[in-house]
């Protein structure tokens, strides 16, 4: 399998963590989002959204959307399970992942920040305020109330919730979002930072890191 990857993309980082947790090896193909490589025709033919990541299977089938890819990996190799078998616990785990993937990340990613600066002429300061607002309000501050670290978000082993939370915290720190009032979120992040799979997937450890 090939992962079309970018070291600093939160969504790609999620898939890297899932692959590491499952011990699955893939070829990493860098797509430099900063240089717009995701909009090249040959990449758009694989992922018409022009976003990273995408997972290309050995038969050439391309899967898109990080959470759909991780659910596929969970079916392909169920151990360790990232979405719990119990439907109620699965709903709670998916809710954290979706709160980040739907309600935080899309509002602070590179393409939206670029639109605010270039199309709407907003200052860097206004864009930072925008980022902090969406990351915190209804975002990480809600997640702080929804998780119950033990020591991962929902128990003794990492789930999809942790897999999505850690890259969002990496992104929040890049934009200097204040996080000190979120002790449960920070405790989960610290525990994950000690885990070899999370370490191996870290942006700084990728071949395309700058």
Binding site for its own copies (CB under 8 A): 47-51, 61, 63-65, 67-69, 71-72, 75-76, 87-88, 90-92, 94-95, 98-99, 101-103, 105-107, 111-112, 115, 119-120, 122, 126, 130, 133, 138-139, 141-142, 145-146
Residue 73 vs 195, nearer CB to its own copies? 73
Looking at the Cβ atoms of 5 and 71, the one nearer to its own copies is 71
CB of 188 to its own copies, least distance (A): 16
Q: Is residue 53 packed enough to be buried (19+ CB in 10 Å), middle (13-18) or exposed (0-12)?
A: buried
For its own copies, the closer of residues 143 and 195 by Cβ is: 143
Which of 62, 200 has the CB closer to its own copies?
A: 62
Q: What are phi and psi of 193, to 5 degrees?
A: -65, -20
Q: Write 199-207 long-range contacts (CB < 8 A, 24+).
A: 200/16, 200/20, 201/13, 201/16, 201/17, 201/19, 201/20, 202/13, 202/170, 203/7, 203/8, 203/13, 203/170, 204/7, 206/5, 206/7, 206/16, 206/28, 207/7, 207/28, 207/30
Shortest gap between Cβ of 192 and its own copies (angstroms)? 21
Beta-strand runs (E) in the chain: 2-5, 27-30, 54-56, 62-64
Q: Residue 127: enclosing H or E segment and its boundaries?
A: helix 124-135
CB of 174 to its own copies, least distance (A): 19
In whole angstroms, the minimum distance from the beta carbon of 55 to its own copies comes to 9
**Cβ-based nearer residue to its own copies, 8 or 105:** 105
Return the number of the residue (144 or 208) whose C-beta is nearest its own copies.
144
In the bound complex, what is the minimum distance in angstroms from residue 205's beta carbon to its own copies? 26
Q: Name the minimum Å distance from CB 140 to its own copies.
A: 11
* Spatial contact of 7 and 208, defined as CB atoms under 8 Å apart: yes
């Amino acid at each position: 399998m090939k992962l079309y990857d970018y070291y600093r993309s939160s969504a790609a980082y999620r898939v890297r963590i899932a692959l590491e947790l499952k011990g699955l090896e893939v070829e990493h193909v860098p797509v430099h989002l900063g240089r717009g490589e995701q909009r090249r025709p040959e990449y758009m033919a694989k992922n018409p959204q022009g976003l990273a990541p995408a997972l290309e299977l050995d038969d050439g089938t391309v899967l898109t959307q990080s959470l759909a890819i991780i659910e596929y990996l969970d079916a392909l190799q169920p151990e360790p399970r990232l979405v719990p078998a119990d439907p109620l616990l699965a709903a709670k785990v998916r809710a954290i992942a979706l709160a980040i993937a739907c309600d935080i990340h899309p509002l602070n990613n590179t393409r939206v920040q670029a639109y605010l600066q270039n199309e709407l002429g907003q200052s860097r300061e206004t864009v930072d305020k925008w980022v902090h607002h969406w990351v915190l309000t209804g975002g990480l501050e809600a997640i702080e109330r929804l998780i119950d670290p033990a020591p991962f978000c929902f128990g003794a082993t990492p789930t999809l919730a942790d897999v999505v939370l850690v890259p969002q915290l990496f992104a929040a720190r890049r934009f200097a979002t204040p996080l000190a009032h979120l002790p449960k979120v920070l405790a989960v992040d610290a525990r994950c930072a000690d885990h070899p799979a999370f370490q191996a997937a870290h942006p700084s450890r990728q071949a395309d890191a700058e």
